[in-house]
Amino acid sequence: MLVAAIQVGSGPDPTENRQQLSSWISRAVSQGAGLVVLPEASQRSFGYSDDALAPDAEELEGPFVEMLLRAVGDSGAHVVAGMFERSGGPAPPFNTTVVVGSGGVLGVYRKLHLYDALGFRESAGITPGPLSAESLCVVDVDGWRVGVQTCFDLRFPEISRASIDHGAEALVLGAAWVPGRRKVDQWSTLLGARAIESTAYVVAAAQPGPRYCGHSMILGPEGERLSEAAGEGDELLVAELSKGDLAAVRASMPVIEARRLRIENPQ
């Protein structure tokens, strides 16, 4: 399967973002991508500390998902994209990642780990995803099992392990990875670690600098970088995922079968 990671920055206007993203998705699909991954907060930017996200949050049947469906059309491709989803009550919106295909919305992941670190408090304007047996999002895409996570989740290996226990062969995530001391190094190291410890492909689409770290990547199951974007600027990455290569790596380095401690899924 050919996959694409689109490094693109979003702004505060959801309409402008939809127009921009539609063009990028069409470009990736025209190159044969069966799976297209967009960054976290693609629907609209986080804004700044005093910006309220709730007024621009949408339902899953709203204009952002409708745009994704139109962009995919009948191509057979799938898109993974970050949005702010209404919580259905007075609580702040969810930071949600949707998986969309020609058949509609195939998966929904609501970010579990909110970025309350280094002076930021994502929880001030976002509701964390509910912790339950349905918290994970692992979907079938063109015969591949794909696990979904978002940005800060990368620092918590349990979500990747749980996705692998549900059969994931590729891990995808969108991010708006805030820059700072050693942040690019940490981003790169953690992406490689998740690939290596899971013997899985990793497809990571990030928002670019200077506001964020950029460096979107597609990695192979031994942690090798198949494609990497620069720190700044919009960019389209593509790479081929191989079932044969994945099987060979998992046969020679059987860490999934050899693991003796398992983390049970939350109930």
Residues with catalytic roles = 40, 111, 151
State how far the alpha carbon of 237 is from the alpha carbons of 25, 33, 78, 180, in Å: 12, 10, 16, 24
210 CB neighbour count, 10 Å cutoff: 10
- Bridge partners of 101, per DSSP, are 104
Q: What is the Cα 133 distance to its own chain's centre? A: 20
**160 and 193 Cβ atoms separated by less than 8 Å:** no
Taking residue 17's Cβ as centre, other Cβ atoms within 10 Å add up to 23
Dist CA 187 CA 199 (whole Å)? 18
- What order do you get walking across the sheet with 144-150 strand by strand? 138-141, 144-150, 170-175, 201-206, 217-219, 225-228
Handedness of CA 177, 181, 185, 186 (dihedral sign): negative
Side-chain-side CA neighbours of 127 within 13 Å: the count stands at 16
